[in-house]
Structure 1
Amino acid sequence: MARTPFRTVLAAAAAVALGLQLSACSSLIAGSPDATYDLTAPSDLPRGGVRRGVLVVAEPVAVAVIDGQRIVVKPNGGQVTYLPKSQWSDRLPKLLQARMIESYENAAWLRSVGRPGDRLSVDYQLVTEVRAFQIDAATGEAVVELTAKITNDKTGKIVAGEVFQARQPLTGAVTGPSATQALDQALKRVLTGLVTWTGQRV
Structure 2
Amino acid sequence: MKTWGPLRHAMMVMALAALSGCAAISAVSDAATPLDVYELRAPDSIAATSGRVLARDVIVEIPTTSGALATDRIMIRPNALQAQYLPDVRWSEPTPVMVQTLMLRSIEATGAVRYVGRKPLGVSGDFALVTEVIDFQADVVPATDTANVQITLLVRIVRESDASIVASRRFTASAVATTTETSVVIDAFSSASDQVFADFAQWVRATL
User: What is the rounded CA distance, in whole Å, between the counterparts of 2:36 and 2:122 in structure 1?
Assistant: 36
- Where structure 1 has 5 or more consecutive residues not aligned to the other structure, the ranges are 1-25
- Where structure 2 has 5 or more consecutive residues not aligned to the other structure, the ranges are 1-25
TM-score, L = length of structure 2: 0.78
Residue 82 of structure 2 aligns to which amino acid in structure 1? Q
Q: 1:50 aligns with which of 32, 49, 52?
A: 52
Alignment length (residue pairs): 175
Residue 63 of structure 2 aligns to which amino acid in structure 1? P
Residue 187 of structure 1 aligns to which amino acid in structure 2? S
Partner of 1:75: helix, strand, or coil? strand
CA contact 1:54–1:120 (8 Å) conserved in 2: no
Partner of 1:70: helix, strand, or coil? coil
Q: 2:203 aligns with which of 188, 197, 201?
A: 197
1:78 alignment counterpart: 81
Matched, 1:92 2:95: yes
User: What is the rounded CA distance, in whole Å, between the counterparts of 2:179 and 2:85 in structure 1?
Assistant: 15
1:178 alignment counterpart: 184
User: What is the rounded CA distance, in whole Å, between the counterparts of 1:111 and 1:120 in structure 2?
Assistant: 16
CA contact 1:38–1:89 (8 Å) conserved in 2: yes
* Deviation of 1:116 (Å): 2.1
Matched, 1:110 2:116: no
Residue 164 of structure 1 aligns to which amino acid in structure 2? F
User: Equivalent pairs: percent with the same residue?
Assistant: 29
User: What is the rounded CA distance, in whole Å, between the counterparts of 1:135 and 1:120 in structure 2?
Assistant: 40
User: What is the rounded CA distance, in whole Å, between the counterparts of 2:122 and 2:93 in structure 1?
Assistant: 24
Residue 160 of structure 1 aligns to which amino acid in structure 2? A
Residue 207 of structure 2 aligns to which amino acid in structure 1? R
Q: CA RMSD in A?
A: 2.0
Residue 54 of structure 1 aligns to which amino acid in structure 2? D
Q: 2:172 aligns with which of 158, 165, 169?
A: 165
Q: Which runs of 4+ in 1 moved over 6 A?
A: none
